[in-house]
Amino acid sequence: MLPTLVLASSSPWRREILDKLGLPYRTKHPEIDETPLPGETAAALVSRLAEEKARAVSTGFKDALIIGSDQVAVLDGNIIGKPGTHERAVEQLRAASGRTLTFLTGLCLLNAATGKVQVDVVPYHVHFRTLSDTLIERYLQHEQPYNCAGSFRSEQAGIVLFERLEGDDPNTLVGLPLIRLVRMLEAEGVEPF
């Protein structure tokens, strides 16, 4: 019998990615503090938060497999968050122009019944074109990606900003490394479809 699968997220983008596997699942928003710890690296942060998200929802699902995921964008070793405003998005895209932004996605699969946990951090690199202020303004007016780390949506018009994308799984950039998740699920005896 297939265990209950729970996505510890309220992200519509993560749900859309998980839908690709054809497995029934539930969602629950995890209530956790996402503040980085002093001196915590970006990789350690997303790894910790992915696991904390899974554990936060596990109390309501004692026999479930729970998926936690967290993502940050990194430029020059600094975490780039969601811009929130147009002005901040302009700053982020100007800083990324002609450079590479690395997305680190923490992924956790927690077996709530056994306590077994699998955690990984999956990178994805976005190589930006040299961006003019005109292109930045046109893009931001069109898409308004103010709730997206790095100030773009790669799955939509943000693709015009890039020179190339580099990574093992394009789903990672959107927030859920599906190739890695399939391997984790298989280790728990769950096959897609």
Per-residue tokens: 108: 């956790």
- Whether 2 has a pLDDT exceeding 90, the answer reads no
- Whether 157 has a pLDDT exceeding 90, the answer reads yes
Q: What is the distance between the alpha carbons of residues 161 and 97, in angstroms, rounded to a whole number?
A: 9
Q: How far is CA 56 from the centre of its chain?
A: 18
70 classed as catalytic: yes
Pairing status of strand 5-7 against strand 65-75: parallel
Q: Identify the sign of the CA torsion 13, 45, 182, 187.
A: negative
Candidates 41, 103, 110; CA nearest to 71 is 103
Domains in the chain, CATH or no CATH each: 5-187 (3.90.950.10)
Question: Which one-letter amino acid corresponds to residue 90?
Answer: V
The partner residues of 80 in beta bridges, in order of sequence, read 73
Which pLDDT value is given to residue 60?
87
How confident is residue 154, by pLDDT bands cut at 50, 70 and 90?
confident
Which pLDDT value is given to residue 182?
98
Q: What is the distance between the alpha carbons of residues 190 and 24, in angstroms, rounded to a whole number?
A: 11
CB count in 10 Å sphere of residue 88 = 14
Candidates 150, 156, 98; CA nearest to 127 is 98
Per-residue tokens: 154: 């790669």
- Whether 156 has a pLDDT exceeding 90, the answer reads no
- Catalytic residue, chosen from 63, 70, 133, 169, is 70
Q: What is the distance between the alpha carbons of residues 76 and 96, in angstroms, rounded to a whole number?
A: 10
* 160 DSSP 8-state letter: G
- Read off the pLDDT of residues 115-147 as tens digits, 9 standing for 90 and up: 999 999 999 999 999 999 999 999 999 999 998
Please provide residue 178's backbone torsions phi and psi, each rounded to the nearest 5 degrees: -70, -40
